[in-house]
Amino acid sequence: MVVEVIDDASFEMLRHKSGAEKLRIAFGMFSWARRMLLSHLRAEHPDWTEDQVTREAARRLLHGAL
């Protein structure tokens, strides 16, 4: 198991955010990661359909296999 610890500056910034702001930040990070993964899969598998790309991205995101 990997446990990542955030640095003091990040902790201080997040400590003052509301729950909604933290969720907005988390969603933005997830959306960015998903877009990057989709782009990578499209480049790596140009022969795949869009459905295959999105299914593989979902599989990797659900199972932590980036």
DSSP states along the chain: -------HHHHHHHHTS-HHHHHHHHHHHHHHHHHHHHHHHHHH-TTS-HHHHHHHHHHHHHHT--
What's the pLDDT band for 64 if we cut at 50, 70, 90?
A: confident
pLDDT, position 3: 73
Tens of pLDDT, residue by residue over 6-48, are 899 989 999 999 999 999 999 999 999 999 999 999 999 999 9
Break the chain into its structural domains and give their ranges.
Answer: 29-66
